[in-house]
Chain A
Amino acid sequence: MDEFTLIKKLESFKTVKPGADWACSAKSRILSQSFEKGPMFSFDLIFSQKRLAPAFASVLLVFAVMPFVFAKDALPGEALYGFKKAGETVKYALTASAGQKSMAQLETRLNELDKITGQSQNQGKKLAAGIKETKQALTRATQELANVPEDQKAELVAKIVNQIAAIEKKTNAAIMDTDEEEYQELYKFFVENEIKEFEEREESLSQEQKDLLIKTKELLEQGKYSEAMEVIYQIQPNN
């Protein structure tokens, strides 16, 4: 078949049409269908519109992220505090080891507690919630102490123990209850490091300081870590 014949035959296909009766009845059938608008807001409708879908997805993302952004400075006892903790879990899961994570969270709880003590509104409610959160974080941090890298351990523990002592003073709350057995490992580690530091500059210590240091060592050897910590606190370092 030459090209001219092929084209002519193709053109004649234009005569192919559906039956007039069928076309007419199909039209009536289609027009008899009624469609009602669904609810004003429909995820299906929005996602079926290709141009709207990315914009709507962005809006959803903003709404999903917004509580976490606003919760950044939330304090225990406040509505958005749960978002803050959830955000922290995600953040530390991606960036820190278990030991570092628990220490960092404890530090955050202590900072929160410090902020609460500086506030005048709803302090009672927030303080109670804050102390509870801090105690929980402290328990976790103590349990995870073994997982903190050795070179960071001493500095972190000293920082936290001192921070706790300062907050206890401000709030009159017993955060690090000396009778709690679960904190013994933390006290032990703290005292050992403090002793090491004082020993390095033993020559500069007064006789009274040296006596306290000896007493601390004795208590440490006897396994009385919390008492040893109380004694070592009495040694005021010379500047």
Chain B
Amino acid sequence: MQPKEFKEQFFSQIYDDYMDRVYRFVYFKVNSEEIAQDITSETFARLWKQISLDIDIKNPSGFLFKTARNMLVDHYRLKERNPANLDTMAFMVKDENQDIEKKVLMDEDMKKIQEAMAQLKDEYRQAVFMYYVEQEPISEVAKSLGKSANSARVTIHRGMKQIKKILEA
């Protein structure tokens, strides 16, 4: 068993490396700061639990994005069951201020892109997000999608086409 300090150090390293990316990934789907914070924080709490219990994590990035995806699915299931409650939450969040986010949202085009991203199929959104927002190489996108590099390129292309279609509508 590893000492607690070592585990904390290991977790902190992963947290610092991936926190922004996981947050953005969630944020593009939920379009709400508060919900994105909740899901991101819970995602990392689950990682900490794994580390605390000495459960081996070979691919922290894979674990985090997979957990975040699953939690988003749960979030939308819950939203389907209780739409009024979560809509209120989303409305409240839109009114909140957060420095950088405010800057981004001030641009009307970017707001529309963000909404278009939220409407994409999970796979398209993940591919476009990883390639253009996170600027990950194709090999990483392919690995994350469980596809070949060529197939990942096609997915990114289709995702972009879909965003343009939504924006033009």
Contacts and interface: CB of A to CB of B under 8 A. Distances in A.
Interface of A: 1, 3, 5-7, 9-19, 22-23, 26-27, 29-31, 33-35, 37
At the interface, is chain B mostly helix, strand, loop or mixed? helix
A30 B48 CA distance: 7
Interface stretch (B17-25, B67-75, B84-92, B137-145): B17-25
Contacts of A18: 19-20, 23, 33, 36-37, 40
B45 A27 contact: no
A26 B41 contact: yes
A108 B152 CA distance: 66
B123 interface: no
Contacts of A30: 11, 15, 41, 44-45, 48
Interface in B47-69: 48-49, 52-54
B124 interface: no
Given A13-B28, A15-B104, 7 more contacts: A6-B160, A6-B164, A13-B110, A13-B114, A16-B100, A26-B44, A29-B41
21 contacts: A1-B167, A6-B113, A9-B107, A10-B113, A10-B133, A13-B24, A13-B104, A13-B133, A15-B104, A16-B23, A16-B27, A16-B104, A26-B37, A26-B41, A27-B15, A27-B19, A30-B41, A30-B45, A33-B45, A33-B49, A35-B53
In the complex, the 5 A-B pairs of residues with the closest C-beta atoms, listed nearest first: A10-B132, A35-B52, A18-B23, A26-B41, A13-B133
Interface in B118-158: 128, 132-135
A209 to B, nearest CB: 84
A37 to B, nearest CB: 6
Contacts of A5: 109
B163 interface: yes
Given A10-B132, A37-B53, A37-B54, A3 B113 contact: no
A11 B135 contact: yes
Contact of A34 (B15, B52, B109, B163): B52
Nearest to B128: A10
Contacts of B12: 27, 31
B38 to A, nearest CB: 10
Given A15-B100, A26-B44, A27-B15, A1 B27 contact: no
Contact of B110 (A9, A34, A35): A9
Contacts of B24: 13-14, 16-17
A123 B31 CA distance: 80
A143 to B, nearest CB: 57
A23 B15 CA distance: 9
A215 B99 CA distance: 115
B132 A11 contact: yes
Most buried by A among B19, B40, B54: B19
B66 to A, nearest CB: 12
B80 interface: no
A14 B19 CA distance: 12
Contacts of B132: 7, 10-11
A71 to B, nearest CB: 39
